[in-house]
Amino acid sequence: MHRDARALATTLAPMGPWQGIVAITRGGMIPAAIIARELECRLVETISVATYDEEARGEPVVLKSASAAGDGSGFLIVDDLVDRGATARLVRALLPKAHFACLYAKPAGQNVADTFVAEVAQDVWVLFPWDTAPLFVPPIGRKIA
């Protein structure tokens, strides 16, 4: 994920300079922090959109707007993944002049992203580091004995 965020920053760098970054919370916060560092962008705003209740999808609702971004002019919107595109469409409507970039895009939402690193199959559930917990796995030799 870190490598992909840096690859995205490499693609975005010549499109700048960027006035600021809007991270879509929560998934876009880590990629946005990495991209902000790589692009030397200090102004990082957030927009909070709730779409999932655990794993059940609903309609996106804005919990916190990105007021510092105005209409999005000169801003980069960053998210981890665009799935069906519902969140992305909502945020793009609020920040119509911003550039929308994400790490991964599924086919149903791919047309909403301006820039992304890799396509992911629609039926794949992407597990990000912040959604998992490390667990001890015993050595194979212990299972044989």
Q: HSE (CB half, 13 Å, CA atoms) of 131?
A: 11
Which one is catalytic: 79, 114, 123, 131? 79
User: Are the beta carbons of 20 and 46 closer than 8 angstroms?
Assistant: no
pLDDT in tens, the chain (145 residues): 999 999 999 999 999 999 999 999 999 999 999 999 999 999 999 999 998 666 667 788 999 999 999 999 999 999 999 999 999 999 999 999 999 999 999 999 999 999 999 999 999 888 888 778 888 878 888 766 5
Phi and psi, residue 13, nearest 5°: -55, -50
Q: Is 4 assigned a catalytic role?
A: no
Which one is catalytic: 80, 114, 123, 131? 80
Which one is catalytic: 4, 83, 114, 131? 83
Hey, what amino acid is at 95? Answer: L
Closest CA to 78 of 12, 124, 138, 3: 12
pLDDT at 145: 57
Q: Is 79 assigned a catalytic role?
A: yes
Residue 43's domain comprises 2-144
Q: Is 123 assigned a catalytic role?
A: no
Number of domains in the chain: 1
pLDDT at 59: 84
What is the full DSSP assignment across the chain? -HHHHHHHHHHHGGG---SEEEEEETTTHHHHHHHHHHTT---EEEEEEEEEETTEEEEEEEEE--GGGTT-TTEEEEEEEESSSHHHHHHHHHSTTSEEEEEEE-TTTGGG-SEEEEE--TT-----GGG--------HHHHH-
Q: What is the CATH number of the domain that holds 77?
A: 3.40.50.2020
pTM of the predicted structure, to 2 decimals: 0.86
